[in-house]
Amino acid sequence: MSATTASPTAAPREVRLVSRPVGWPTAADFELVESAVPELADGQVRVRNVAMSVDPYMRGRMSDAKSYAAPYELGEAMQGGAVGVVEESRADGFAVGDHVLHGLGWREVAVLDASAARVVDTSAAPATAYLGVLGMTGLTAYAGLTRVAAVKPGDVVFISGAAGAVGSVAGQVAKALGASRVIGSAGSAEKVAHVIDDLGFDAAFSYKDGPVSRQLREAAPDGIDVYFDNVGGEHLEAAIGSLRQGGRIAVCGAISVYNDTEPAPGPRNLSRLIQTRGRIEGFLVGDHWDLAREYAGHAAQWIAEGRLQSRETFVDGIDHAVDAFLGVLRGDNTGKMVVRL
C-alpha cells in the first residue's frame, strides 16, 4: 500500500512516568522528552495530536497495584484519550487531514494502528467535544445512569462532582431522562452557580460549606432514588443515608481517596441498604461500549434542543499537561479538562 504524507514535522515531545507517586503526584514523577517517530507499517497512521484528555482514572494507572487497567510503564510515554490530525496514512479509510480519536495521548505525535483510531466529524462539533460530552465522558454518564442505576422518570437524583466532566453531563442526562429533581455537589460557590444556572440542576451545594449529609437532607428532604458517585468518602455515606426504598447507587469514581496513603474508612451506614433494599454497583465505561451509538443519537438531539451543554477548561501545551492533570485531582476544572497541543 502506498503512503500519503503531509509536510515534515519538528521533533515531537511526550510525557513519561519516571517514578510511581506515593500520595499526591508531583512534577518530579514525570519527564518531558523528545520522542522518536517510527516509520509507518501498512495499516498504520501518523497523527499530530491537537488535544489530549487528562482524567482522574489516570492516577490509578500510575500505581503498579493490580487493577482493571495495566499500569503505565516507567520510562515510557503514558496513554490517554486524544484527538489529532492525520499527517501520514498507510491505512484505507484514513486520509491526510482527517481528525481522529484515539488512545495515545500524552504525546504530540502518535503512530498507531488504524484499527485503534476513529475518524470524527469536526464540522458537527469541535474536536475536543469527542474527548468529553460526545466521547468517553458522556458515555460514562449515560451508561451509569441508564444501565447501572436504571434511572426512571420521577426519580430524585444526586450527582457528586457535579461541575466536573462526567458529573456535569450526568446531571443534564438525568433531567433529559425524566428525573423529577437533580441535586449536585461541587467545590465552590462559583461551581454551584454554574451547576444550577447553566446546567439546569434543581439544587446544588458546596461540600466545603458543611457536612454533606446535612446539606443533602436539606436539598432532598424526602430522600433520593439514585446517586451517581464520582467522589466516594463522605459523599457516599451521605447518599446511603438519604437513599429511599429501592434506591440505586452507581459508583463511577472516588476521587476523594485516590491519593490517600492509608485505606479510607468505609461508609459506616451500609446496614441502611438492608432497610431500603438499596443497591450499590461499580462500573467501568469499557464494559458498555455497546451503548455508544444509542448515546450518540440521544446526545445529538439533546444538544440540538439545548438540553445538553458542556464547558471545557483548557490548558495549553504539552509542557503543562502534568499541571492540568494535577488540577483535575484538585478539582480546578469546570467541565472537561483538556490540554491543547
**112 & 141 share domain:** no
CA 167 to chain centre: 9
In a domain, 292, yes or no: no
- Residue written as cell 514535522? 9
Q: Which pLDDT value is given to residue 262? A: 78
Helix (H, G, I), strand (E, B) or coil at 193: helix
In a domain, 205, yes or no: yes
What's 67's domain CATH number? 3.90.180.10
**143 & 170 share domain:** yes
What's 224's domain CATH number? 3.40.50.720
Question: How many independent structural domains does the chain possess?
Answer: 2
Q: 318: Cβ–Cβ under 8 A, 6 or more apart, which residues?
A: 13, 14, 15, 32, 52, 106, 107, 108, 339, 341
Angle at 130 between CA 57 and CA 322, to 5 degrees: 40
**21 & 117 share domain:** yes
Q: Which pLDDT value is given to residue 256? A: 80
**183 & 253 share domain:** yes
Higher pLDDT, 126 or 258: 126
Per residue in 87-140, pLDDT (tens digit) is 999 999 999 999 999 999 999 999 999 999 999 999 989 999 999 999 999 999
CA-to-CA dists, residue 20 to 30, 32, 188, 340, angstroms: 9, 16, 31, 25
> In percent, how much of the chain has pLDDT > 70?
97
Report which of 175, 149, 143, 152 is spatially closest to residue 162, judged by C-alpha positions.
175
* Torsion sign across C-alpha atoms 277, 286, 167, 106: positive
In a domain, 120, yes or no: yes
Q: Which pLDDT value is given to residue 12? A: 96
Report whether pLDDT(8) > 70. no
Average pLDDT over residues 199-221: 97
In a domain, 306, yes or no: no
Domain end marker among 250, 270, 286:
286
**177 & 225 share domain:** yes
**155 & 224 share domain:** yes
pLDDT band at 10 (very low <50, low <70, confident <90, very high): low
Q: Which pLDDT value is given to residue 259? A: 79
Q: Which pLDDT value is given to residue 65? A: 83
In a domain, 246, yes or no: yes
Report whether pLDDT(6) > 60. no
Using CB atoms within 10 Å of the CB of residue 161, give its burial: 0 to 12 exposed, 13 to 18 middle, 19+ buried: buried
**143 & 279 share domain:** yes
Average pLDDT over residues 277-300: 95
Average pLDDT over residues 145-158: 98
**101 & 231 share domain:** no
**151 & 281 share domain:** yes
In a domain, 291, yes or no: no
In a domain, 295, yes or no: no
**128 & 156 share domain:** no
Higher pLDDT, 184 or 264: 184
Q: Where do runs of H (alpha helix) occur along the chain?
A: 58-61, 136-143, 165-176, 189-193, 212-219, 234-242, 272-276, 292-304, 321-330
Q: Which pLDDT value is given to residue 219? A: 98
In a domain, 293, yes or no: no
Lowest mean pLDDT among 60-64, 152-156, 242-246: 60-64
Q: What is the overall mean pLDDT for the chain?
A: 94
The whole domain housing 195 covers 136-286
Cα–Cα dist 181/171, whole Å: 10
Report whether pLDDT(318) > 60. yes
Domain end marker among 286, 303, 327:
286
Please check whether residue 130 is in contact with residue 137, taking contact to mean a CB–CB distance below 8 angstroms: no
Cα–Cα dist 81/148, whole Å: 24
**84 & 113 share domain:** yes
